[in-house]
Amino acid sequence: MLKVTLIESILRGLPEAILFVWAIYLLTQTPMKYTKIMLTASISTFITFIIRLLPINLGINSILSLVLLIYLNIKINKISIKQSLSTTILVFIIEYIAEMINIVILQLLKFDIAKLFQNPINKVLYALPSLVLLIIFVLIVHNIKIKYLSLKSNNIV
């Protein structure tokens, strides 16, 4: 069981879920539908909160959340199975990289991570840089993809 408070779920989980769904829309070049983004993010946040309360091993909750988000993107956002699967996995990988970078930076700055993350508000605040990194990395991947598709359409690649 992964201990998570309701405040963490709302202050961290919902913005993260919104960013995930936004990133999937962006990377699949699906026209943005903000009501569907909010609906998907809200459902994902709520069910992920419930999943984290289950007595399951760490890591299984991430896999269940991944499967849930893939399913929601297919059903609610009408993104193809192939695109939803590949893009959701890509965004999860980008998020984990962003979180690792954030943790390394906090450790280099001599923060006691265990102590820091005991308080839910501190946990939310000190994890914010990973969300900023997620946005930056997604935009970089999006720009690379656009340039590649442009080169491909011009028969340069």
Q: Tell me the longest C-alpha to C-alpha distance in the chain.
A: 54
Q: What is the pLDDT of residue 157?
A: 59
Condensed to tens digits (0 to 9), the pLDDT of residues 109-157 reads 999 999 988 899 999 999 999 999 999 999 999 999 999 888 877 777 5
Q: What is the pLDDT of residue 151?
A: 80
116 φ, ψ (degrees, to nearest 5): -60, -40
Distance CA 4, CA 132 (A): 21
Q: What is the pLDDT of residue 2?
A: 62
- pTM here? 0.90
Which of 4-8, 47-51, 80-84, 102-106 has the lowest average pLDDT? Answer: 4-8
The pairs formed by 48-54 with CB atoms below 8 angstroms and a separation of 24 or more are 48/9, 48/13, 48/17, 49/4, 49/6, 49/9, 49/13, 52/1, 52/2, 52/3, 52/4, 52/9, 53/1, 53/4, 54/1
